[in-house]
Copies of this chain bind each other. A is one copy, B any other.
Amino acid sequence: MDKPVTTPERPPLDPAFIELLRALFGERLHLTEAMCLQHGGSEAHFATMPPDAVVFARSTEEVVELVKLCTAHDVPIIPYGAGTSIEGNTLAVRGGVSVNLSEMDAILAVNAEDLDCTVQAGCRREQLNEYLRDQGLFFPIDPGANATIGGMASTRASGTNAVRYGTMREAILSLRVVTPDGRDIRTARRARKSAAGYDLTRLMVGAEGTLGIITEVTLRLHGIPEQISSAVCGFETLQGAVDTVVQAIQIGVPLARVEILDDMQIKAVNLFSKLDLPETTHLFFEFHGSPAHVAEQIETVSELAAMNGGGQFQWSNLPEERARLWKARHEAYYAAVALRPGSVGWATDVCVPISRLAECVAETKRDLQTSTVPATILGHVGDGNFHVVFAMNPDDPAERAEVEAINGRLVERALAMDGTCTGEHGIGLGKQKYLEAELGEAVDLMRMIKTALDPKDLFNPGKIFAR
């Protein structure tokens, strides 16, 4: 079960360079195999690709010095947060220095009146929300893991609230970034909107550290809703579940969360979380607003559900009961992997226009039925985004090839429906072969930008596309 380690042949780091690193970082420079392997690993199915050194940065100024040093010595730099990305986004494919930002986790400012805050890149999303709770504020973006805000920015993460509150693309007002030429820039001011020049904020969001190292993030926040209510509903058909969501969005119901779990996923959570949901497609809802408005939303959506073959609409606005209702969703990934003891999870995602979602999921389910590898489907149905989680035997090359083939067909299917090869995980290493199919010559523009900003190709090299 140990992951293979891939270390392409390369010369060791120059001892003189190492001494300069040590002068900068002291005991926060790590050269041990264990530390390098940890930073060259990932939560996903990729081989481990360790860097040659790891440093723990404590300030933007230190990152600037590191960048100047690495650039002078032609050494790659890979920014590292919580290590929770799942397309191999932080693997050190050409070695170099992994710069761990997790100690830069300060919450620098909360501007309650402006509904924004500024945090260092290593701040984690749960830490931020705990800090904000007493002020009646929250930050909505919630990928499955307790990721760092910098990492979430770099992969353009989203999660279950995106249907109402958007993704990291919409959530970020401004970034502090260290560029490959060692500049320490702010991409924008704190105003809610601006028409001042190129949108460098959005250029850095989703660039996976290939154009700059994000050290600070200014985020939009939201007031905690007066009332939060949750609901769960099983459906006779997948189409009925999707139609319910499409109709609700069209008539303007501001769904805060709406998640779909297929029958296999429900089976998995019944086993894992000791639940007894009927083994059919389910929708998990959350509604935010004033009590009267939430009640109205629930009434509207439960009527739509009934018209589309939905069963009993279980709902609650009590926190414990809400947690119980959503337990199946929260534990979905672990439940999927637990379907097969000894397996590892291979999670992939695509996103399609919502009118094609039911068809895309149905075709994918038919494809999964041809496979011996257990797999579940769950998704952020309001966005047209869904995940397939395979419980794969990592030691069986044939099985790995089978999963790769199914993943390839899934992406082709999504692209044929005018969708994208990744809704929220980024390209990393795992989706590179599909990017060109998705965007064609537009990828050349990305290469031109990369070459202009990082001519030595030292910032997280080998990610998103080959140079």
Contact = CB atoms under 8 A, between A and B. Distances in A.
B351 A192 contact: yes
How many copies of the chain does the oligomer comprise?
A: 2
Contacts of A187: 439, 442
B435 A196 contact: yes
Contacts of A199: 156, 169, 199, 202-203, 205-206
A223 interface: yes
Contacts of A158: 193
A455 B352 CA distance: 36
A42 interface: no
B445 A192 contact: no
A273 to B, nearest CB: 28
Given A113-B354, A292-B292, A198 B449 contact: yes
Contacts of A190: 353, 418-419
Given A442-B186, A445-B185, A198 B191 contact: no
A384 interface: yes
Interface string A26-53: 0000000000000000000000000000
A114 B351 contact: no
Given A250-B223, A446-B198, A440 B185 contact: yes
Contact of A438 (B189, B252, B425, B440): B189
B167 A441 contact: no
Interface residues of A, number: 94
Interface string A70-111: 000000000000000000000000000000000000000001
Nearest to A353: B114
Interface string A360-384: 0000000000000000000000011
Interface in A438-467: 438-446, 448-449, 451-453, 464-465
A170 to B, nearest CB: 6
Interface in A235-258: 246, 249-252, 254
A57 B184 CA distance: 42
B193 A197 contact: no
Nearest to A428: B195
Interface of A: 111-116, 155-158, 162, 166-167, 169-170, 179, 183, 185-200, 202-203, 205-207, 211, 222-223, 225-226, 246, 249-252, 254, 288-290, 292-293, 296, 300, 351-355, 383-385, 414-415, 418-427, 431, 435, 438-446, 448-449, 451-453, 464-465
Given A191-B420, A197-B465, 4 more contacts: A158-B193, A195-B420, A197-B464, A293-B296
